[in-house]
Amino acid sequence: MKCSEFREQIEAGAPTGGEPRRHAATCRSCAEYAAAAGWSGALLQAGQTNGAGPSFQRLWAEIQRRNENNWAGALSFSFMRLVPYLAAFSLILLVIGTMGYRAGRHRNLNTVLWLAGSSRQFAGTIAPDMSKQPAATLGLYQP
Amino acid sequence: MLAETALWYGTVTAVDSQDPDQHLVVRAQAGDREAFAAIYSRYQGPIARLAANITRRPNEAPDLVQEIFTKIYFSLDRVRSDVPFRPWLYRVAGNHCLDYLRKQKRQPRTDSLIPEYDDGWLASTGPDPARKSEARDLVDKLFHGLRPRDRWLLVMKEIEGLSLDEMAAITGMAHSALKVALFRARKRMQKQYQMLRQRTTI
């Protein structure tokens, strides 16, 4: 008999028959294994303690409570997951808005400058010839 | 049918596709309260005993059982139909008890008189409540010095009487590794006993 077989039999219950007995008599290690198993088995059986679970109603109430918390948790978790996206979206809106505003300001400024430039041009080149009709000055009217 | 699948706490080896709990599990997965009640009524006793013996705190067993079954309820959707339910349940329960033990702060040990333990003493622990209580105290003290995993293995083997096949399915360990682990746990318990005896007799 092999040691592994002997030990399998020990774990399955007390081995019976001559062969395991002969093996234990010749194998010191397996004899020690069997003695330790017998010792702890008997002691733990004698010293075992009993416990009881709660009523199913109590368990079910706890499950329901956690279920509700899970829903709330899942909702808040979903919202929390959205926060970075919302922040990124807000940032993009802010950037676009700023750029639009600056571009708008730029455009207005350009218009003002253009107008100012036109006025200067108007003043420098066209304005001395005040005898012409304004429309003729602008080239809209040919008398 | 042999199959191995990753579950919540690791792997559980399927040894038998004819699982008597399977129809209850399937119904419970679909939200059937009565099916879960049937599972609870079938297993709350063994799980409470397992928890009380691993932690050695029978007064806390109701809370532990509640936490274990709540965890099981919310993990039912992860149970596969080709994997037996019982080993998975024991695995969840065992791991929960180990977590509980790890979270506990070490309690100061009280060194009261340790009875001389032999076969005669054990035989006399049967009907006598005082002797039974003495045996419980002794196991409490011995377990106090054991690692949580040793406690788990010893309770499954010596108190629950699980076979090596079942323990292998629960722990994911091979038979040979289990036998070595059990032997070492027993030897450590014996050593603990000898230390306690020496301390109380000197």
- Structure confidence by residue, pLDDT tens digits, B181-192: 999 999 999 999
At B3, is the secondary structure helix, strand, or coil? strand
At A41, is the secondary structure helix, strand, or coil? helix
pLDDT at residue number B3: 39
CB spacing of A51 vs B33 below 8 angstroms: no
Q: CA-to-CA distance for B93 and B96, rounded, in angstroms?
A: 5
Q: Which pLDDT tens digit goes with each residue over B67-98?
A: 999 999 999 988 887 788 999 999 999 999 99
Angle at B21 between CA B19 and CA B23, to 5 degrees: 95
On average, the pLDDT of chain B sits at 82
> Could you tell me if B174 and B89 are in contact, meaning their C-beta atoms sit under 8 angstroms apart?
no
- The residue among A31 and B20 whose pLDDT is bigger is A31
Q: Which pLDDT tens digit goes with each residue over B146-160?
A: 999 999 999 999 999
Q: CA-to-CA distance for B190 and B72, rounded, in angstroms?
A: 35
Residues 142-201 of B with CB under 8 A from A: 142, 154-155, 157-159, 163-164, 175-176, 179, 182-183, 185-187, 189-190
On average, the pLDDT of chain A sits at 80
In 3D, which of B147, B128, B155 has the Cα closest to residue B49?
B155
Q: Which of B52, B74, B139 minimises the CB distance to A43?
A: B139
Secondary element (H or E) of residue B10: strand B10-14
> Could you tell me if B190 and A39 are in contact, meaning their C-beta atoms sit under 8 angstroms apart?
yes
Q: Quick one: how many helices (H) and strands (E) in chain A?
A: 5, 0
**Burial grade of B121 (CB within 10 A; 0-12, 13-18, 19 or more):** middle
pLDDT at residue number A79: 73
Q: Is the CATH number 1.10.1740.10 carried by domain B1-104?
A: yes
Distance from CA of B28 to the nearest CA of A (A): 13
Chain B residues within 8 A of A49 when measuring between CB atoms:
52-53, 56, 58, 136, 139
Is the Cβ of A36 closer than 8 Å to some Cβ of chain B? Answer: yes
pLDDT at residue number A120: 60
Using pLDDT thresholds of 50, 70 and 90, give the confidence band for residue B14. very low
pLDDT at residue number A136: 63
pLDDT at residue number B163: 92
- The residue among B144 and A129 whose pLDDT is bigger is B144
CB spacing of A11 vs B58 below 8 angstroms: no
- The residue among B132 and B61 whose pLDDT is bigger is B61
Looking at A40-44, A52-56, B66-70, B78-82, which range is the least confident one? B78-82
**Best interface-test mutation with B: which of A4, A7, A10, A44 has the largest number of B CBs within 10 A?**
A44
Using pLDDT thresholds of 50, 70 and 90, give the confidence band for residue B33. very high
Distances in Å between the alpha carbon of A101 and those of A11, A97, A130? 82, 6, 40
Which residues are CB-neighbours of A51 under 8 A, at least 6 positions away? B48, B49, B51, B52, B53, B58, B60, B61, B62, B64, B65
pLDDT at residue number B120: 57
pLDDT at residue number A125: 56
Using pLDDT thresholds of 50, 70 and 90, give the confidence band for residue B179. very high
Q: What percent of chain B has pLDDT over 90?
A: 52
At B105, is the secondary structure helix, strand, or coil? coil
Distances in Å between the alpha carbon of B62 and those of A51, B48, B59, B69, B107? 7, 7, 7, 11, 21
Q: CA-to-CA distance for B158 and B167, rounded, in angstroms?
A: 12
pLDDT at residue number A122: 56
Is the Cβ of A57 closer than 8 Å to some Cβ of chain B? Answer: no
Is the Cβ of B75 closer than 8 Å to some Cβ of chain A? Answer: no
pLDDT at residue number B6: 38
3-state secondary structure A95-137: HHHHHHHHHHHHHHHHHHHHHHHHHHHHHHHHCCCCCCCHHHH
pLDDT for residue B174 is more than 80: yes
Q: Which of B40, B52, B53 minimises the CB distance to A59?
A: B40
What value does the mean pLDDT take over residues A59-85?
80
Give the ipTM of the model, two decimals please.
0.77
Is the Cβ of B132 closer than 8 Å to some Cβ of chain A? Answer: yes
Is the Cβ of B40 closer than 8 Å to some Cβ of chain A? Answer: yes
- The residue among B171 and A105 whose pLDDT is bigger is B171
Looking at A37-46, B37-46, B117-126, which range is the least confident one? B117-126
Q: CA-to-CA distance for B95 and B90, rounded, in angstroms?
A: 8
Distances in Å between the alpha carbon of B195 and those of B149, B189, B199? 20, 10, 6
Chain B residues within 8 A of A39 when measuring between CB atoms:
186, 190
pLDDT for residue A18 is more than 50: yes
Tokens representing residue B158 in the block: 């010596």
Distances in Å between the alpha carbon of B42 and those of A13, B37, B71, B143? 25, 9, 17, 28
Q: Where are the alpha helices (DSSP H) in chain B?
A: 22-29, 33-55, 61-75, 85-103, 119-123, 129-144, 148-154, 164-171, 175-201
Using pLDDT thresholds of 50, 70 and 90, give the confidence band for residue A101. confident
Q: Checking DSSP bridges between strand B10-14 and strand B3-7, what pairing results, if any?
A: antiparallel
Q: Which of B40, B135, B138 minimises the CB distance to A56?
A: B40
